[in-house]
Structure 1
Amino acid sequence: MSTEFVEGWEMLHTLGEGAFGEVKLLLNKVSGDAVAMKIVDLVKNANVTTSIKKEIAIHKKLNHPHIIKVYGNRKEQGVEYIFLEYASGGELFDRIEPDIGMKPQDAQKYFRHLISGVEYLHSLGIVHRDIKPENLLLDEHDNLKITDFGMATIFRMNGKDRMLDKQCGTLPYVAPEVLSGKQYHGEPADIWSCGVVLVAMLGGELPWDSPTNHCEDYVSWKECGITKQPWCKIENLALSILRRILNHSPPRRYKVSEIKQHQWFTKQFKDQGTPVKLPGTPLKKKIKLNRDSTGREEAILACSQPVHCDRTNQNHCDELQDRTSIGKKQVGLCSFSQPTNPEHMLLTSQCLGTQTQSGSNQTPLHRLVKRMTRCIMNTDFDKTRKELERLLDLFGYTWRECPQGTFTISCKDIRKMDLTFKANAMSLNGVSVLLDFRLSHGCGIDFKRHFLKIRGKLKPFISEVPMTWSLADATNTIP
């Protein structure tokens, strides 16, 4: 059920979650405006206080069409609330078909958006340091937006660049120099991550587990091996730009200006197509929400990256998103994200049996969009639950159901890293069930692989009827 967060604003379902909190959707009951609210419990996670302050300070400096906007923040009773632009198009990874990728023209469009945002960040002396599809959102107009600045830092102050030395990021996307144990430049490291994102978009898989000499796939790439997957699925012109972006030598790696001049980047595809207008209500005005308890915005940015992984000595190492060993330390951090990916239609007020003039009559499903990891079952609520339980046991997942109809599922991904996702069953008028899957932590592409495997076994019970029925009597709201 929805709850009122502050006067006039209802808190609806969960958009995403991380190691230190979650992201909820806020809806204005009168205007219908939507805001993503990131919630961090500083009492339970006291070691991230400095990092969160820095994240807010950096994010407030940013204003670019391909970066998620931050509207403000407030601190109340040990909880930090950060109010962000709601990207109703969901996460980029949901547009990537496992082992297939996406159309080259779509990959080019998103890559152009990504490079535009990264160029802006670097012009301000800021590096993101955790660029990956899970941190790249899409708005209602299918525009890419960079989000999650928890690992971002300043590399240039007063016109002077500084070297970085913290190991942070997500292993398959991190640049090799970041793992070297030596100092590195921030800009080339971000560019490398952008290149791995492009590989994922074009090939539907990641090129390696990590860019180290212990990884056979990475060594093969360094030695110009392109006969294996995913390289054999990528056409030559795209391989050309990838060769220059994923160069293991940072000084020889393409800069943003060179990327923008490359023939693949500027190419006009024959079937460029018409941009699809995705569902969702854009924010046309600035949302008025309280700032922090002091009423001030952070203006002074630190020159070092706060860390989270070592609770006893947090000045000596950064987080690597995938759980892996650096020396003898085990480190790990989940990102915040908004996995609410639409395909073609929003469950509108007409579908829901609600009024459009006032948000007060909207159900919590008003902002529910049809995403690729969702299906409608022609079985009732109890039978759907039992069938899902049977499949989860059959596939050997670790899972729990709490509350009833909400399943938290854990396993290892293809790289033996932790992967957690949720499945939520929602009864529709007692005759069918909406079964919704969303990623909680881990690789988005591998999450989709698991979803497709589960959906394949559920196929006999999946309804082929289009989603045009009323949801007014739906129960067990998606969290």
Structure 2
Amino acid sequence: MSGGRIGRTRVGRYEIGRTLGEGTFAKVKFARNVETGENVAIKILDKEKILRHKMIGQIKREISTMKLIKHPNVIQMHEVMASKTKIYIVLEFVTGGELFDKISSRGRLKEDEAKRYFQQLVNAVDYCHSRGVFHRDLKPENLLLDSSGVLKVSDFGLSALPQQVREDGLLYTTCGTPNYVAPEVINNKGYDGAKADLWSCGVILFVLMAGYLPFEESNLMALYKKIFKADFTCPSWFSSSAKKLITRILEPNPLTRITIPEVIENEWFKKGYKPPDFETPDTTSLDDVHAIFDESGEAVNLVVERREERPVLMNAFELISTSQGLNLSTLFEKQMGLFKRETRFASKCPANEIISKIEETAMPLGFDVKKNNYKMKLQGSKTGRKGHLSVAAEIFEVAPSLYMVELRKSKGDTLEFHKFYKNLSTGLKDIVWKSGEGSKETNDS
């Protein structure tokens, strides 16, 4: 097989690999710059949806600003491209996983470590606010770590794409994960993006130090009531100065809530705080951003997606990057951590057989199956806690006649996803590859 390019999609100088995540408006995929060998993440937006929501001007503004933001704790945007139907935003790729995987594997963090991440988060948020960009959806999935353990906030400016700012300069969209969202956002009365972002930072700090959420209810109205009243209790192990600061951040009235400059001056925050040392480049070209759309909304220099059909071949580096750290024993295990939304297994069966078997097992569980080459969409018919559960499955070739199957929750509740996977894996046990004759699945290692 030549250089691992079989079954790859190529856009411009990037070879596109597996899906890293997906949302309503976009998908994020792993990619490699063929000229430099650099790994990147590419956010792919559906142009038709953007036109339908009359978001072109806004997207251009958001992307231009994001391209100008260069901060050590914010994911860097490299360039922007467009094809006839899609917009491709090329971003820095970080390999350390999500910050919250640390909690799911180790429980809560020590106060000093939690503070270190909180300082990096507040610094990134403050810097973006100073450039007029608000996040509006700060939550665990958006906090990534690089290989040295430095916090990187992703989706800045981009998470707000479907939203609108009204003439009075306030935002009017309830977005975000309810547990992390400020009361004024839920209230839909128009809100100050900076104050709302700070509230989410406060919830994140609480979770890092406590190992659980300050506001947690299975019933949405009960959850909202708790948030409106800021009805939470700090655990006994929080220091009194941390408790005080969290209480001032999780203040339901945005007018009396502490501000970011005040947080940075706070004694608890200041202890051990080193502002990041970085230079803002003098020039950043926005030619690629302007080139995506001319005035008519038509793209000017288009890139073309080229693809061949067979399972994507995954190289050794990518294979290792899907595992926790570089520990290969966990590679094909079910990673049932607290916030896990994906799982994978290996199989020596032919790819078509794997697809038929997944379809055969998922349908009696009440899932509608759509197939597209070596990718599948499993859509649950029952409404769960967070709407219908939707699962994406993709098959990768990792060696001749060895395949890796990745299942990812794309919509719905994570616990329901785990339950579904448990039921599904019972039906798939004949096709799951077991290392070593007669041994149990690699979970014992």
TM-score, normalisation: structure 1: 0.61
Matched, 1:343 2:324: yes
Residue 250 (structure 1) aligns with: 254
- Higher helix residue share: 2
Asked if the contact 2:389–2:417 (Cα under 8 Å) also holds between the matched residues in 1, the reply is no
C-alpha distance in 2 between matches for 1:433 and 1:94: 26
Query: 1 or 2 for the larger relative contact order (CA 8 Å, sep ≥6)?
Result: 1
Shift of 1:115: 1.2
Matched, 1:219 2:226: yes
Matched, 1:138 2:142: no
- SS across alignment from 2:21: strand
Asked if the contact 1:27–1:34 (Cα under 8 Å) also holds between the matched residues in 2, the reply is yes
RMSD: 4.6
- SS across alignment from 1:188: helix
Shift of 1:120: 0.8
Asked if the contact 2:135–2:160 (Cα under 8 Å) also holds between the matched residues in 1, the reply is yes
Residue 304 (structure 1) aligns with: none
C-alpha distance in 2 between matches for 1:35 and 1:242: 36
- SS across alignment from 1:110: helix
Residue 434 (structure 1) aligns with: 404
- SS across alignment from 1:178: helix
Structure 1 residues 453 and 194, CA, compared in 2 at 3 Å: closer, same or farther?
A: farther
Shift of 1:54: 2.5
Picking from 234, 237, 240, the partner of 1:235 is 237
Picking from 200, 203, 210, the partner of 2:211 is 203
Structure 1 residues 144 and 450, CA, compared in 2 at 3 Å: closer, same or farther?
A: farther
C-alpha distance in 2 between matches for 1:251 and 1:264: 22
C-alpha distance in 1 between matches for 2:213 and 2:122: 20
Q: How many residues align?
A: 369
C-alpha distance in 2 between matches for 1:454 and 1:110: 37
> What are the equivalent positions in structure 2 for 1:280-291 lying under 5 Å apart?
291=288
Asked if the contact 1:211–1:218 (Cα under 8 Å) also holds between the matched residues in 2, the reply is no
- SS across alignment from 1:43: helix
> What are the equivalent positions in structure 2 for 1:268-417 lying under 5 Å apart?
291-292=288-289, 294=291, 342-345=323-326, 373-377=342-346, 380=349, 388=358, 392=362, 396=365, 398-403=367-372, 406-411=375-380, 415-417=385-387
Shift of 1:431: 6.8
Shift of 1:402: 1.6
Asked if the contact 1:14–1:22 (Cα under 8 Å) also holds between the matched residues in 2, the reply is yes
Shift of 1:455: 8.9
Residue 124 (structure 2) aligns with: 117
Q: Which amino acid in the other structure matches residue 60 of structure 1?
A: K
Asked if the contact 1:101–1:205 (Cα under 8 Å) also holds between the matched residues in 2, the reply is no
Please give the per-residue CA displacement for 1:28-60, whole angstroms capped at 9, x wherever unaligned.
234311232223232354123233222212212
Residue 147 (structure 1) aligns with: 154
C-alpha distance in 1 between matches for 2:173 and 2:373: 40
Matched, 1:38 2:19: no
Residue 328 (structure 1) aligns with: none
Residue 5 (structure 1) aligns with: 11
Asked if the contact 1:208–1:218 (Cα under 8 Å) also holds between the matched residues in 2, the reply is no
Q: Which moved more, 1:457-466 or 1:256-265?
A: 457-466
Picking from 58, 77, 93, the partner of 1:86 is 93
Q: Which amino acid in the other structure matches residue 182 of structure 2?
A: A
Structure 1 residues 3 and 415, CA, compared in 2 at 3 Å: closer, same or farther?
A: closer
Residue 103 (structure 1) aligns with: 109
- SS across alignment from 2:378: strand
Asked if the contact 2:67–2:284 (Cα under 8 Å) also holds between the matched residues in 1, the reply is no
C-alpha distance in 2 between matches for 1:163 and 1:44: 24
Please give the per-residue CA displacement for 1:88-135, whole angstroms capped at 9, x wherever unaligned.
33444544529x854335544432221111111222233221212223
Asked if the contact 1:75–1:293 (Cα under 8 Å) also holds between the matched residues in 2, the reply is no
C-alpha distance in 1 between matches for 2:70 and 2:367: 42
Residue 24 (structure 1) aligns with: 29
Q: Which amino acid in the other structure matches residue 79 of structure 1?
A: K
C-alpha distance in 1 between matches for 2:21 and 2:119: 26
Structure 1: give runs of 5+ residues left out of the alignment: 154-160, 269-285, 299-339, 352-370, 467-479
Picking from 163, 173, 186, the partner of 2:180 is 173
Asked if the contact 1:162–1:185 (Cα under 8 Å) also holds between the matched residues in 2, the reply is no
Please give the per-residue CA displacement for 1:334-380, whole angstroms capped at 9, x wherever unaligned.
xxxxxx76511288xxx9xxxxxxxxxxxxxxxxxxx9944444664
- SS across alignment from 2:40: strand
Shift of 1:3: 3.2
C-alpha distance in 1 between matches for 2:293 and 2:347: 53
C-alpha distance in 2 between matches for 1:25 and 1:94: 19
- SS across alignment from 2:71: coil
Asked if the contact 2:27–2:45 (Cα under 8 Å) also holds between the matched residues in 1, the reply is yes
